[in-house]
Amino acid sequence: MPIRQLKVSGVRNLQPLDLSLHSGVNFIYGPNGSGKTSILESIVLVAAGKSFRTSQLKHVLTHDADRIEIEMNVEDESLGECHLDSLRLKGGDHLLKLNGSVLTSQAEASHWLPVQVIDPTTFRLLSGSPEERRQFIDWGVFHVEHSFMEQWKTFRKQLKQRNSVLKQKEDEWLSVWTKGFIESALVIDQYRRDYLKRFKPEFERILAALDPDTKVQLAYYPGWDKDSELADVLERQQERDMVLGYTQAGPHRAELRIKVDKQPAAEILSRGQQKTVVAALKIAQGAMFQQESGRRTIYLVDDLASELDEKHRFALCKLLEDLKCQVFITSIDKEKLTDIWKPEDACLFHVEHGCVNQESF
């Protein structure tokens, strides 16, 4: 699943670039503020339709630029080859193309680019909102269950309609939309349950390889009382839902609970341990994606040395190497990239003042 060629202009302080990339490991080093993370950000902009660093396009756009243009050539073991173009205008308009044809959905680009980011803020997967953990589950389901996206759209439509009825106090329509809501909700819930049942043992294996001393438990909460049927919960909450004007229970309230000795992991583990656990979650998700689809995840590891000691850096890198996938790893120091791990298939890039140059090891 390598990105063979990457062209970028208009992203932060990066000078317009045109890089031929390695199908294995791409090391990127340079001082803080040089632009190395912006290379990873450019990839994510196409893969996910948004930055992993900010929600506002104006912060990504080069000063005085009126647009961001990103192109990439992608090769996939199963899907073949494609050319992706992303154009984002300062005013907010966005045009995304696949082989010259305009895409109407971000999901089509995401399908071609199964990207996982591991960066200094990834511990938020443990300490952040339940929505972040729902998105983590749904990334895995989306990339292995072809019908999930359509089912998700159906569920969102049913939820929106039910909430509209609740806000308008239209009692006579509530039962109709509640019936459809329950049907679609149970489909989404089953997708997630099936996925997590397969995911847990893979996560445990990866975490043991990264840090055998850290023990973490994963528990899934569907978004309503697990000992009750969703229909019964909605009936009990109907009056309160009508007062609030929205649906309190359902898959939109689901949660992946990550615990240590029955306590939230974010409250027990050190920052370093949290990052190790999140790295295990991300690597396990990519490994499972590979097992079930025959395709490979693209890993973007920003600031490798941050909060990981030499032992854990080596373990992380070896796991990524074993997956034989494309990896982008950034660091301030060249030595932090190459002192403990020198994969056979790799290339090295140096970034300074927004200029990117390939170097020999």
Task: Please tell me the pTM assigned to this model.
Answer: 0.93
Query: What is the tens place of the pLDDT at every residue in 248-304?
Result: 999 999 999 999 999 999 999 998 899 899 999 999 999 999 999 999 999 999 987
CB 219 within 8 A of CB 259: yes
pLDDT at 340 over 70: no
Q: Is residue 31 within 8 Å of residue 332, measured between CB atoms?
A: yes
pLDDT tops 90 at residue 55: no
CA neighbor of 115 nearest in space, from 295, 291, 276, 300: 300
Q: Exposed, middle or buried, 54 (CB in 10 Å: 0-12/13-18/19+)?
A: exposed
- Please write the tens of the pLDDT for every residue from 91-109: 889 999 999 999 999 999 9
- What is the model's pLDDT at position 1? 58
| pLDDT(357) > 70 | yes
Q: Residues comprising the binding site for ATP?
A: 30-37
Residue 349 reports pLDDT greater than 90: yes
- Burial category of 19 from C-beta neighbours within 10 Å (exposed 0-12, middle 13-18, buried 19 and up): buried
Tokens of 336: 């932090």
SS3 208: helix
Would you list the domain boundaries of the chain? 1-114+298-361, 122-294
Does CATH number 3.40.50.300 belong to domain 1-114+298-361? yes
Annotated binding site: 30-37
The answer to whether the beta carbons of residues 222 and 130 sit under 8 Å apart is: no
CA distances from 82 to 50, 85, 235, 317 (A): 20, 10, 49, 28
Contacts of 279 (CB under 8 A, 6+ apart): 118, 122, 210, 316
Q: Does the structural domain 122-294 have CATH classification 3.40.50.300?
A: no
- Higher-confidence residue of 336 and 168: namely 168
Which residue in this structure is represented by tokens 């490979």?
Answer: 296
